[in-house]
Structures are given as C-alpha cells and as structure tokens.
Chains A and B, each alone.
Chain A
C-alpha cells in the first residue's frame, strides 16, 4: 500500500515539489492535488508575457492534464480545500471531495493584495495574478481605452506594459518617489522611468489613491492631493499576501506566513508548506527561484528524511518588459559599510552597479545590459573574495577585450545560467551536445533552462550559437509591413508551392496590401527570378527606376550611361565612338570612374535608347543589383610587380557573370600581386595573384560600412577560380536575403558554412555551378533589348511628352 500524499494548491511550488519527488522516487506515493483554479499548473511569472501578447495561454501551461494522468496524479481542479482534520489526517473540499493523507503539503501560494479603497468593488477594478485577470484585461481592452495601474513595482509595470500592448492608454500610479524602489537604486529607477515613458506609459509618482469613483463600473481615481484621473480599468498591483487562512483554521503556527523549518515542516507532524505561503527563517519569498529550491528540499525530505535542509535563497529580480532589461539582486543600496562599482553609459543607456561589503558581492542593479547577471549571482552565492578584482573581472561585459569572448563564453561551467531553475552552463552545453539540440525550445524542454521567467533566453541562445556554430539569434523578421512572413519563408513557399509570379505570391501568402510596397515587390521579383531563372518573366514595374531603364538616375533627373568595358580595357575605336556620341548628344561630363569605366553623365531619359544604339556597346550594369565591374590592376603585362595575368582573368570573369541578377550589387577585382592595386581586399569577390596561384577573397565591402574581405581559398588555375566564384555567387543568390550584401550574408551564415558548401561538398558545388550556368544562359543585353523594341520604349516611358496649352 502506497503512502498517500495530498497537495493543497495546484501552483508552481506544489507541482514543482511533485516533479522533484517523482524524479527521485516515482512510485512511493499515491498523490492527490487540489486546485482552486480550473486550469492545470501554469507559469504564473509569464502571465505578463501573455498580457503583452508575446505568449499564448497554452504556452505557459507547465503541466497539462496528460502529465497528471501519466504520473497517476489525481487532480481535483476548480475545487478548493475547505477543511483539514489533522486528527484523522483527512482533507475535505468545498464540493465535498474527501481524501485522507499520510503527508500533506500546503502550497496555497498567495493572493494579490487589494487596497480596501472606497469603490474598490466596482466593475473594472481587478488585480493581476491569474489567468482570469489576464483574460479580463484582454477583454476590457477591446471596448475601453483608459487603464490605470496602481503600483509601480515589478508586477504593476509588467501589467502596464501588457495593457499598452493591448492598445490602451496607461497611467501608472505609485506611492513612492521612484519605481521599483524595492529592487532599484535611484539612478536605475530614473532610467527605467525614462524608458517606460518613451514606450508610452504615463507615470505618476508620490501619488496616494483615496477613492475609486464611478457608477457600476469604475470611471476614475481620486488622489489624496486632490488630483484625479479618468480610468475605465483599474489594475491593483500593490503586492501579494500569503494565502494562510486554511492553515490558520487548521491550527498551524503562522507568522507572516506558515512557519516552516529547514525541512519545510510546519508545526504539525506530516504537514509541510512550500512556496509563497511559507515563512522560512522570517522570510517569505515571492519569487520563483527560492520556491524551486524549497521544492527540491521538500521532495528530498519526503523521500529520504535525511538530507540537507534549506538555508534560504539569494534572490534576484528581472523585469519582463519588452525593450527593458533590468536586473536586481541583494543589497543594492549604498550604505556606510558598502562600496560599489558603477558604470554608466549614456550612449547605450546602460547602468551597472555592483555592491560589495567586506570584500564580498552583496548586491547588484543592472539596467540595459543584464548579461553579467548570472556571474554576479554566482559570486553572491559563493561569497567569493573580490578584494583583488577590478571592474572588468566583476563585470565581464566591461572588459576591454571583447574578442576574448562573450560573458557567457567566459563563464565557468558550474555557474548558473537559468537562475530560476538552477541550470548551469555545463548542463546546458552538454545537453546541446549530447542530444543534438538546435533550438532554444528544445533546450528548454530538456533542461528547464529559460522555462520560468525566460530572462536567460539570450544567454541560452548564445550558448546554442557557441555550441553549434550556428547563429541562433536569427529571430524571425517579416519581409516588410505587407506581410508577416520572413524572406526565408517566402522563398521556401515559392519553391515548395511552385509560385511563379508576384501577384500569386501575395495572394497565396495572404499579403495585407493589394500591391505590395517598394520593399517586397523588388524582393519578390528577385526571388522569383532566382528560383525560376528560365520561366520567370521579369516584372519591370517591380524594379527601381535605375534597373527599369538601365541607367543611373542623378539627382537632377538626368541619367548616366556606363558602357561595358571588360576588365577596364578599351581601344581607340571605342574611344572614338564615345567621343562622337558625347559630341552628338552634348554630354556635359565624361568621367573615368573608380570602377575603371567611362561614365557619360547628364543624359536626358528620352535620349537613352539612341545613345545606346550609337554607342553600339553592351550595358555596363552600373545601376543594378547584379554584377557590376571587375576591377583589374595592369597585371603582368605592364607592371613590374605583377605575377599573374590579372586583366585576362578579369575580362574572363566579367564576360562570364555579365548581367547576373544578385540580391545586392557585386563588385569584383583582380589584382596581379598582393600589392593589390585593384583593391581586391574590399570587394565582394577579390582575386589576388600570389606566386603561381590565385587567392579568392570574398565578402569585403568598400562602402561606409567598410569591411575587409576574407580568404575563401587558394587555387591554381583560372578555370578553378571561375568555378569557385560561380559556386559562391550562386550560393549567395540562393541564400541571401534581397538587398543583403555578401559581407552581411557571410557574417550571418559564417564563412565556414559557406566553405563547406562551396568548396567541400563536391556534389553541392557541382549543382551550384550548374544552376549558375542555367541562370546565365538566359542573359540578354538589356540595352539591345530595348533599342529594337519600340513597344518597350513606349512602356518604359522613354518618349518625352510635352504639351503646350492652346486656348
């Protein structure tokens, strides 16, 4: 016969105790849980995320009904316990359910504290504590506009942010003169206030509410100083009070809450208390970490009776408001006995403070950048002597050597990442490695890390990135305002559903605008052409003017024309032609460009087709997202340093990739020697001749966003160079987002990943080259195309239309 265990309270503390118990000894007890709310156990800390719209109710359910079934736990929900008979060891529920117990756990949690103000019973006055409150707020926001939150503490601010997200106007009323005064010092509190005001909250400090006014429904607040405020909804978030009525009636010893010893035992034999309803060593905890620590101790005790007791917790707080990172722990105010380290950066709006007493860290406040919090907590717990340390060792994020690795990377393995659930870095890393985890969600399910408050998600994400070498920070980003789909999703849909034109994509994927916008249309046009190079009919109307009319528009409305000159080499005949054309059309400026071409500037739009025709040269594509020019240095023919035929290779490359559409412009260069006259080091593709070989560098950028290119590989023959460039460019074409330069793309996916596909995976390399050849097979010179096509000229508006008024 199993022992009978009854838990009063279906909240986080009680259930956590059961989970721990089941882990240690799954079959020892026959378990019954009584719960007042009609839900399975959920993560109360994330209620504010539900309210803020970041999470759904289902997402915060910690243990669904199946879990109770699987573990043979009887759940009596929606039915609170009414009476405990300690003599017969029996509990009775309100609806008459009766269970006897061998061991009984009180996990009744706490209730929100409602101020007994006149008018507090009106409709529209609520607390923020359970799913029902949350639902009330969501409903209210649909028909009312003005909310007031009483209480500028953690809970109040989270509620306020949620209401803001629901589209309400929010006033926060706080009795004290600074927000979260229990957790923050004056400076951090001031910064928090500024940030929240920027987000749209109105904050009233030093205000004491006197009365809630209105009819049936609340209509406003009156303050002691005579001011008043309109409100359709009043949320009271002034604190919680332990739920100990039943315990009192049962005869348990209570102080502020149910008194327990280090083994969570109450004054009565076989009766325990855990969580927010328990008072341990004169402290009642209202946070999740201590609650879990207590649960662990209680479970051990229930199984073995002989185990280490609970010694109290060091608590820390993080505020879960989007756009605000706040962390607070321990004694964070300066006193006579403490010394502190403070770093305040008004550029980044960050503030960090670590308080030290007797050479030990005793508290901290972090605002804006909380990445050091796990380390600080661990120092607080261990009581490490910091007398020999400086700010960089205590606050790793302030270390000057950012290359030496992030704060997470530097952490020792036994340091906690998830403070709530006590999961160490080592545990997470080994879970990722041993079980091949790839998402934060999987890590959460495997290790519990980030399962509770979610504050450590960034660190978990970073660990994932570090462990897998893949960037896990890539949160989904919609393509533009017309859709919720990301670029990746859209491309995947085009491929999977075989979509073939822009309108179709918009219809199938539920675009919110009828015709898209200047962000999605060019992108879709590109993706469709990239996926179906031969079948897709380019949509000129979805191209920017430069690409549509194949010339660069200038700020005076005229255009510039750059004819193709392979490798920057021309001849007397071409020069003669250019001179004649410039003469004929009175071109105001002829200029040799930095890309080693000749630019004819100041040409009127209506003259463009004629200019092209007279030039008889191909388009230099100086205007588009595509292969621009291949810059060369003079090479072995003329330069005394040159070791390779750079002009020859440059011409070959330019001829091969001429007219290729790419996500963003591609600039190439070939230098004959490492002196690098052609600036190969800052091009998308830069080839450099070295003794008997070519180095291929990729992903450089010469713009405002200067970036040096990285070495992809070293090759012997020009054929290999061209193949490799083809594979690289095709991979870029397929993987990069539209308007993403090679430098950003490679930074995002990592050079090693690119190498793997382009160089190492022979099969994929061959396939890339083949797909590139298909894409290139359909090239036609756009100028030629337009010169012979009067209809096109008319459609693209090359003709000038002058109207004179005759009256």
Chain B
C-alpha cells in the first residue's frame, strides 16, 4: 500500500508581523507554536512549550539562535529544538518556508 504524504503547509503570518528578537505565538488547530524571525530573514518554528515545565517559549528572551525559557531560563536551540548546556530535553521543531513574505509552517500529517 502506498503511503499518503499528509504533510501540508499552513500560512501562519506575514513576515512583517514578526519582529527580530521577539517570539510570536500562533495556534494552529489548537497546537501552540512559537515563531522566531532571525536577522537574516530566516524564520524558525518550534513547539511553544519548554521541555522542562512547559513554559511558553514565545515569551522567552531571544539571543541569536537560542531562546531562554521565561520560567526557569532553560536555553533552547531554535534550530534543533534541543536544550543546551547541562539540561536535557527537546521540543518539536517545524520546517518553515517563506514565499513572498508569507510565512508557512510545514505541519506533519495527521493519520
């Protein structure tokens, strides 16, 4: 049986709506994601919930390619979703595509 590729792109924002250095929370069908615009125009999307105690990463302080969780200062890589330093944990990350200033998140398919 052939597998159906159920991945799909979802338009989440216009790039102008995002600011460098500040996360932006979006809710896609009940799932909370945090978007981060980088200086070079790249946008990262990760799950908006710290692997530690579920702190909202979209509210965290952004330093380059890392965000610091507002609750307990865990340092999470925007690129890989992994916690840095001594902490261990990982958040889901999502592919992002930008076309004509429109920001799309590639959502994995649901079965």
Distance of B94 from chain A, by nearest CB (Å): 12
Kindly state whether residue B28 has any CB partner on chain A within 8 Å.
yes
- Name the one of A515, A800, A804 contacting B29, with C-beta atoms under 8 angstroms: A804
Kindly state whether residue B77 has any CB partner on chain A within 8 Å.
no
Kindly state whether residue A151 has any CB partner on chain B within 8 Å.
no
Write out the residue numbers on chain B whose beta carbons fall within 8 Å of the beta carbon of A795. 19, 22
Write out the residue numbers on chain A whose beta carbons fall within 8 Å of the beta carbon of B95. none
Complex contact B70–A803 (CB within 8 A): no
Complex contact B22–A797 (CB within 8 A): yes
Given contacts A517-B63, A542-B61, A545-B70, contact A801 B53 (CB under 8 A): no
Given contacts A545-B60, A555-B53, A795-B19, contact A805 B70 (CB under 8 A): no
Given contacts A555-B53, A797-B23, contact A513 B63 (CB under 8 A): yes
Kindly state whether residue A794 has any CB partner on chain B within 8 Å.
yes
Closest to A522 in B: B61
Distance of B107 from chain A, by nearest CB (Å): 7
Given contacts A513-B63, A521-B61, A545-B70, contact A805 B28 (CB under 8 A): yes
For window 542-576 of chain A, which residues contact chain B by CB distance below 8 Å?
542-546, 548-549, 553, 555, 557
Given contacts A516-B63, A545-B59, A555-B53, contact A796 B10 (CB under 8 A): no
Complex contact A518–B17 (CB within 8 A): no
Instruction: Tell me the interface secondary structure of chain A in the complex.
Output: loop
Complex contact B59–A805 (CB within 8 A): no
Distance of A628 from chain B, by nearest CB (Å): 19
A contacts with B, residue count (CB < 8 A): 31
Kindly state whether residue A541 has any CB partner on chain B within 8 Å.
yes
Write out the residue numbers on chain A whose beta carbons fall within 8 Å of the beta carbon of B24. 797, 801
Distance of A234 from chain B, by nearest CB (Å): 34
Interface string of B10-37 (1 = CB under 8 A from A): 1111000101011111111100000000
- Name the one of B17, B23, B27, B58 contacting A794, with C-beta atoms under 8 angstroms: B17
Kindly state whether residue B62 has any CB partner on chain A within 8 Å.
yes
Kindly state whether residue A143 has any CB partner on chain B within 8 Å.
no
Complex contact B25–A801 (CB within 8 A): yes
Q: What separation, in Å, do the CA atoms of A545 and B62 have in the docked complex?
A: 11
Complex contact A514–B64 (CB within 8 A): yes
For window 61-100 of chain B, which residues contact chain A by CB distance below 8 Å?
61-64, 66, 68, 70-71, 73, 75
Distance of A800 from chain B, by nearest CB (Å): 7
Complex contact B61–A544 (CB within 8 A): yes
Kindly state whether residue A807 has any CB partner on chain B within 8 Å.
yes
Complex contact A801–B12 (CB within 8 A): yes
Interface string of A505-544 (1 = CB under 8 A from B): 0000000011111100110000000000000000011111
Kindly state whether residue A306 has any CB partner on chain B within 8 Å.
no
Closest to B61 in A: A518
Distance of B18 from chain A, by nearest CB (Å): 9
Q: What separation, in Å, do the CA atoms of A390 and B13 have in the docked complex?
A: 77
Complex contact A801–B59 (CB within 8 A): no
Write out the residue numbers on chain B whose beta carbons fall within 8 Å of the beta carbon of A515. 62-64
Given contacts A518-B75, A545-B59, A545-B70, contact A805 B107 (CB under 8 A): yes
Closest to A799 in B: B17
Complex contact A518–B68 (CB within 8 A): yes
Distance of A73 from chain B, by nearest CB (Å): 55
Q: What separation, in Å, do the CA atoms of A555 and B53 have in the docked complex?
A: 8
Write out the residue numbers on chain A whose beta carbons fall within 8 Å of the beta carbon of B75. 517-518
Q: What separation, in Å, do the CA atoms of A516 and B68 have in the docked complex?
A: 11
For window 142-170 of chain A, which residues contact chain B by CB distance below 8 Å?
none
Interface string of B36-69 (1 = CB under 8 A from A): 0000000000000000011110111111101010
Q: What separation, in Å, do the CA atoms of A794 and B18 have in the docked complex?
A: 9
Kindly state whether residue A802 has any CB partner on chain B within 8 Å.
yes
Write out the residue numbers on chain A whose beta carbons fall within 8 Å of the beta carbon of B70. 544-546, 553
Distance of A410 from chain B, by nearest CB (Å): 41
Write out the residue numbers on chain A whose beta carbons fall within 8 Å of the beta carbon of B53. 555
Interface string of A484-523 (1 = CB under 8 A from B): 0000000000000000000000000000011111100110
Given contacts A544-B61, A553-B59, A555-B53, contact A796 B25 (CB under 8 A): no
- Name the one of B26, B29, B62, B73 contacting A801, with C-beta atoms under 8 angstroms: B26
Distance of B44 from chain A, by nearest CB (Å): 14
Write out the residue numbers on chain A whose beta carbons fall within 8 Å of the beta carbon of B21. 541
Complex contact A518–B73 (CB within 8 A): yes
Q: Which residue, of B53, B63, B70, B75, has the highest number of chain A Cβ atoms within 10 A?
A: B63
- Name the one of A541, A553, A557, A800 contacting B62, with C-beta atoms under 8 angstroms: A541
Write out the residue numbers on chain B whose beta carbons fall within 8 Å of the beta carbon of A555. 53-55, 71
Complex contact B25–A518 (CB within 8 A): no
Distance of B110 from chain A, by nearest CB (Å): 10
Q: What separation, in Å, do the CA atoms of A540 and B21 have in the docked complex?
A: 9
Given contacts A515-B63, A541-B21, contact A802 B68 (CB under 8 A): no
Complex contact B29–A805 (CB within 8 A): yes
Q: What separation, in Å, do the CA atoms of A513 and B63 have in the docked complex?
A: 9
Complex contact B71–A803 (CB within 8 A): no
- Name the one of B27, B55, B59 contacting A803, with C-beta atoms under 8 angstroms: B27
Given contacts A545-B59, A555-B53, contact A800 B27 (CB under 8 A): yes
Write out the residue numbers on chain A whose beta carbons fall within 8 Å of the beta carbon of B12. 801, 803
Write out the residue numbers on chain A whose beta carbons fall within 8 Å of the beta carbon of B64. 513-515
Q: What separation, in Å, do the CA atoms of A297 and B19 have in the docked complex?
A: 76
Distance of B25 from chain A, by nearest CB (Å): 7
- Name the one of A517, A796, A801 contacting B27, with C-beta atoms under 8 angstroms: A801
Distance of B54 from chain A, by nearest CB (Å): 8
Interface string of A387-408 (1 = CB under 8 A from B): 0000000000000000000000
Q: What separation, in Å, do the CA atoms of A758 and B29 have in the docked complex?
A: 59
Q: What separation, in Å, do the CA atoms of A692 and B70 have in the docked complex?
A: 47
Distance of A413 from chain B, by nearest CB (Å): 48
Q: What separation, in Å, do the CA atoms of A800 and B58 have in the docked complex?
A: 12
Q: What separation, in Å, do the CA atoms of A403 and B107 have in the docked complex?
A: 65
Distance of B53 from chain A, by nearest CB (Å): 7
Q: What separation, in Å, do the CA atoms of A557 and B25 have in the docked complex?
A: 12
Q: What separation, in Å, do the CA atoms of A522 and B59 have in the docked complex?
A: 15
Q: What separation, in Å, do the CA atoms of A800 and B25 have in the docked complex?
A: 7
Write out the residue numbers on chain A whose beta carbons fall within 8 Å of the beta carbon of B61. 518, 521-522, 541-545
Q: What separation, in Å, do the CA atoms of A511 and B70 have in the docked complex?
A: 23
Complex contact B27–A797 (CB within 8 A): no
Distance of B75 from chain A, by nearest CB (Å): 7
Given contacts A518-B63, A794-B17, contact A541 B28 (CB under 8 A): no
Distance of B16 from chain A, by nearest CB (Å): 10
Q: What separation, in Å, do the CA atoms of A30 and B1 have in the docked complex?
A: 102
Complex contact A553–B56 (CB within 8 A): yes
Write out the residue numbers on chain A whose beta carbons fall within 8 Å of the beta carbon of B107. 805
Q: What separation, in Å, do the CA atoms of A795 and B20 have in the docked complex?
A: 10
Q: What separation, in Å, do the CA atoms of A243 and B63 have in the docked complex?
A: 60
Closest to B28 in A: A803
Q: What separation, in Å, do the CA atoms of A544 and B73 have in the docked complex?
A: 10
Complex contact B26–A796 (CB within 8 A): no
Closest to B17 in A: A794
3 closest residue pairs by CB, A with B: A518-B68, A541-B21, A545-B59
Chain A residues with CB under 8 Å of chain B are: 513-518, 521-522, 540-546, 548-549, 553, 555, 557, 794-797, 800-805, 807
| 6 A–B contacts from the bound complex (CB under 8 Å) | A516-B63, A517-B66, A540-B22, A548-B59, A549-B59, A803-B26
Chain B residues with CB under 8 Å of chain A are: 8, 10-13, 17, 19, 21-29, 53-56, 58-64, 66, 68, 70-71, 73, 75, 107
Question: Told that A514-B63, A517-B75, A803-B28 touch, could you supply 11 new A-B pairs with CB distance under 8 A?
Answer: A515-B62, A515-B64, A518-B60, A518-B75, A521-B61, A800-B25, A801-B12, A801-B13, A802-B27, A803-B12, A805-B10
